Amino acid sequence: MYFAIRGATTVSKDDKQEIISATEELISQIIARNGLNGENCRYVSLIASTTVDIRSYYPVRAVRESGLLGAVPLFSCIEPDIDGSLPLCIRVMLTADIPNSEREIKHVYLRNAAKLRPDISAQ
């Protein structure tokens, strides 16, 4: 059964190391909170978006180089630049095939991104 797991985080500034750290933390938390380890599921794809103020590094490159998701296909795009939107934000959607699963999916919103979905960010 296929599941799309959402997540988001923020960085305090457009800095390569901070983007790498925040992205790896987000993916690690998605995996941990959903009990995914690559043996009980198959990662299908990851889509990531960033706000226009993140320019120094690709979050999907951080995911690929971390090895957290293996050789999953990755796609990156830019969020629309909307007045009043949350700045310095990285959003992801991980699609995974989790056989025989009746589990509740836990979406992960970290740091200032918790403001985006207060209804589920405390999970």
pLDDT tens digits, 41-83: 899 999 999 999 999 999 999 999 999 999 999 999 999 999 9
pLDDT score of 40:
80
Give pTM, 2 decimals.
0.94
Confidence of residue 37 (pLDDT cuts 50, 70, 90): confident
Under a CB-based contact definition with an 8 Å cutoff, are residues 110 and 9 in contact? yes
Confidence of residue 12 (pLDDT cuts 50, 70, 90): very high
Confidence of residue 96 (pLDDT cuts 50, 70, 90): very high
Under a CB-based contact definition with an 8 Å cutoff, are residues 77 and 47 in contact? yes
Q: How many CB atoms lie within 10 A of CB 67?
A: 8
Under a CB-based contact definition with an 8 Å cutoff, are residues 49 and 76 in contact? yes
Average pLDDT in the chain? 93
Q: How many CB atoms lie within 10 A of CB 12?
A: 10
Rounded to a whole number of angstroms, the CA Rg of the chain reads: 14
Q: What is the mean pLDDT of residues 19-31?
A: 97
pLDDT score of 113:
96
Q: What is the mean pLDDT of residues 85-114?
A: 91
The pair phi, psi for residue 52, each rounded to 5°, is: -65, -15
